[in-house]
Amino acid sequence: MQPHLKRAFTLLAIAIIGFIAVRALIVPDSFGQNGWYRGDSVFELRNFPVKHAEPVSCGEEDCHKTIYSIWSSAGHKTVNCETCHGPSQEHVNNVRIMPPPANDSRDFCGLCHFKRAARPSGFPQIDPETHGENLKCAYCHNPHKPWFV
| 118 binds ligand HEC per the rule CB under 6 A | no
Q: In sequence order, what are the residues at sequence separation of 6 or more whose Cβ sits closer than 8 angstroms to the Cβ of residue 116?
A: 125
Query: Between residue 13 and residue 42, which ones bind ligand HEC under the rule CB under 6 A?
Result: none
69 and 59 Cβ atoms separated by less than 8 Å: yes
Q: In sequence order, what are the residues at sequence separation of 6 or more whose Cβ sits closer than 8 angstroms to the Cβ of residue 82?
A: 52, 53, 55, 88, 99
The residue among 31 and 108 lying less far from ligand HEC, judged by its C-beta, is 108
Query: Between residue 39 and residue 78, which ones bind ligand HEC under the rule CB under 6 A?
Result: 55, 58, 64, 67-68, 71, 75-76, 78
Q: In sequence order, what are the residues at sequence separation of 6 or more whose Cβ sits closer than 8 angstroms to the Cβ of residue 97?
A: 90, 91
68 and 58 Cβ atoms separated by less than 8 Å: yes
Cβ of residue 93: shortest distance to ligand HEC, in angstroms?
16
Cβ of residue 90: shortest distance to ligand HEC, in angstroms?
15
Give CA 42 to chain center in angstroms: 19
Of 64, 65, 61, 58, the residue nearest 83 (C-alpha): 58
Contact with ligand HEC (CB under 6 A) among 9, 19, 37, 139: 139
The residue among 17 and 135 lying less far from ligand HEC, judged by its C-beta, is 135
Q: Which residues bind ligand HEC (CB under 6 A)?
A: 55, 58, 64, 67-68, 71, 75-76, 78-79, 81, 83-85, 102, 104, 106, 108-113, 123-124, 126, 128, 131-133, 135, 137-141, 143-144, 146-147, 149
